[in-house]
Structure 1
């Protein structure tokens, strides 16, 4: 049993001796497994005969893209045909002697293959079983497929990433996948700690939409407490084009605004009553932005 195996943690490799079986594809679940490997776990990546789809998303370098190379580094590799009974038998044998199993199948697929938590945990009660999906293992959307872009939109992340064109934009990296992988890693870490005392593992349900929504907690609170879209924070924080490149500005208190005005040679803005504080600057900048969007729409 995995609960009887003694791990051999060090500061450099706290998960030394931990055995992980990674059935995930793409980014979220493989990233979680990769993080366990970074900290010393022995991770076996299980792929179908055609390979993880991340191997083909982007420019290929040998048998990898940057996605598959980055999120699967440090793992051992195994090809199993889970449509064949022998492939399933091998998977079950490996699962019976691992500490952590990570899967990203559609809801119900793992159980149908005979590698669901309920079945595996009967013979391996110490198993920590992680399921990663778009919308979770229960609820009205649980059977729906999803992706990083879907999670960014559904969670509301794109609604707060509005460009100068007034249009919500997807964040330019796979942030929903990555944050889901991090939350999944955190969930496994806490469960491993509990297992040392409790003696049993558990089934962990992590999904892209919930993980991305967790990034927006304060924005949800703002929207509720302010009765709608909240005012812009820390105005004039943002990205500005200058004569020799771009400048990122951020402010967390009022004295910094005056220092900013001095730094750009515009002390007159520091004493302008229209820009006296964050709230008034937000009104002025917001009105100017709305007018700019209206002009752009009229031109088109």
Structure 2
């Protein structure tokens, strides 16, 4: 990735200095400057661009420095990042340790100063940083903020589908513990039949045909189902209504994230809603 992006990084540096350009309107020359302020891509591509360990690492997030935990007793290797960890550690979602360009430079300096490969690898694992990002010659990119999270894979093909598996008793072999959030297979069969019936007369501009087998659903189909149909189809399906309310709360969060525009009060409300939803999920 770095060698592939090197020519573009050089061009960004050239644009930052300025390129002599002719203004046809004023019939005069001027210095044209341009700056790259965002990096767009899927999760894996951005991780390679930023040169970080990634979403399954001990320090997985590109935006903050919170650390993960894993199930060592069962030999699990994937880390997850709850707000409250089994060992008693906890994170304040309103005051997370955010990444910054200054912190990036500090960590890389520490890694470079190590005298052994093991020491370097230990620091890389702890901080989740392998080295300098691919685009680094111009300081227009903020290491922790210039790479927005990719909504489709993270939320639609990640959280939404995992929640359905969770409610179906098919998520990584987990049982309900002390909860009562599983929906029976017979009830799910009815839900998918009602899904197919609900959309058969909707214009294709709104949603494609949704069959009674979610295995074939695309990200677009899952999004439509969860935002517009799930609040209706899941009503009365859980033994405890708090799980239905929790599902509807996440549906509202997804709707807010899909707005074309948002005001600052709406963004603040969305942040509060997300924090509340995560805390309830961990209860």
Q: Aligning the two structures, in what range does the TM-score lie when normalised by the shorter sequence?
A: under 0.3
Q: TM-score, normalised by structure 1?
A: 0.22
Q: TM-score, normalised by structure 2?
A: 0.23
